[in-house]
Structure 1
Amino acid sequence: MSSSFERYQKRRLISSYFSVVLSIALVLFLLGLLGLLVLNAKKVSDHFKEQVVLTIYLKDTAKEVEVKQMEKSLAMADYVKSIEYVSKEQAAESMKAENGEDFMEFLGFNPLLNSIDVHIKADYVTEEQLKLIADETTSKSFVDEVRYDNDLVTLMNNNVKKISFWILVISGLFTVIAVLLINSSIRLSVYSKRFTIKTMQMVGATKKFIRRPFVWKSVRLGIIGAVVALIGMAVVLYYIDKTFPELEFLKNQILIASLFLGVFAMGIVITWISTFIATQRFLNLKTDQLYY
Structure 2
Amino acid sequence: MASSFDKYQKRKLVSSYISVVVSIALVLFLLGCLGLFIFNAKKVADHFKEQVVMTIYLNESAKEVEVDQLKKRLAMADYTKSTTYVSKEEAAEIMKAENGEDFMDYLGFNPLQNSIDVYLKADFVTNDVINEITEELSTKSFVEDIRYDNDLVFIMNNNVKKITFWVLIISALFTLIAVLLINSSIRLAVYSKRFIIKTMQMVGATKTFIRRPFVYKSVQLGIIGALLALAAMAVVLYYLNQSFPELQLLNEPLLLVALFVGIFLLGIIITWMSTFIATQRFLNLKTDQLYY
Normalising to structure 1: TM-score of the pair? 0.99
**Pairing of 1:24-173 with structure 2 (within 5 A):** 24-173=24-173
For 1:45-78, what per-residue CA distance to the aligned partner results, in whole angstroms no more than 9, with x for missing partners?
0000000000000111100000000000000000
* Aligned residues: CA RMSD: 0.4
Structure 2 gap segments, 5+ residues each? none
2: distance between equivalents of 1:101 and 1:40?
42
For 1:22-59, what per-residue CA distance to the aligned partner results, in whole angstroms no more than 9, with x for missing partners?
00000000000001111111111000000000000011
1: distance between equivalents of 2:82 and 2:216?
55
2: distance between equivalents of 1:161 and 1:111?
41
Find the counterpart in structure 1 of residue 232 from structure 2.
232
For 1:178-223, what per-residue CA distance to the aligned partner results, in whole angstroms no more than 9, with x for missing partners?
0000000000000000000000000000000000000010000000
In the TM superposition, structure 1's runs of 4+ consecutive aligned residues that sit over 3 Å from their partners are none
What one-letter code is carried by the residue in structure 2 that aligns with 1:185? Answer: S
For 1:56-101, what per-residue CA distance to the aligned partner results, in whole angstroms no more than 9, with x for missing partners?
0011110000000000000000000000001111000000000000
Find the counterpart in structure 2 of residue 22 from structure 1.
22
**Pairing of 1:229-268 with structure 2 (within 5 A):** 229-268=229-268
Find the counterpart in structure 2 of residue 222 from structure 1.
222
What SS class does the counterpart of residue 82 from structure 2 fall into?
strand
What SS class does the counterpart of residue 145 from structure 2 fall into?
strand
What SS class does the counterpart of residue 273 from structure 2 fall into?
helix
Q: Does 1:275 align with 2:275?
A: yes
What SS class does the counterpart of residue 112 from structure 1 fall into?
coil
2: distance between equivalents of 1:107 and 1:126?
38
What one-letter code is carried by the residue in structure 1 that aligns with 2:288? Answer: D
2: distance between equivalents of 1:49 and 1:149?
12
Shift of 1:20: 0.2
Shift of 1:278: 0.2
2: distance between equivalents of 1:20 and 1:226?
11
2: distance between equivalents of 1:173 and 1:242?
30
Report % sequence identity: 73
Shift of 1:226: 0.2
What one-letter code is carried by the residue in structure 1 that aligns with 2:118? Answer: V
2: distance between equivalents of 1:138 and 1:216?
71
1: distance between equivalents of 2:118 and 2:94?
17
Aligned residues: 292
For 1:114-136, what per-residue CA distance to the aligned partner results, in whole angstroms no more than 9, with x for missing partners?
00000000000001001011111
Structure 1 gap segments, 5+ residues each? none
1: distance between equivalents of 2:96 and 2:32?
47
Find the counterpart in structure 1 of residue 191 from structure 2.
191
What one-letter code is carried by the residue in structure 1 that aligns with 2:268? Answer: I
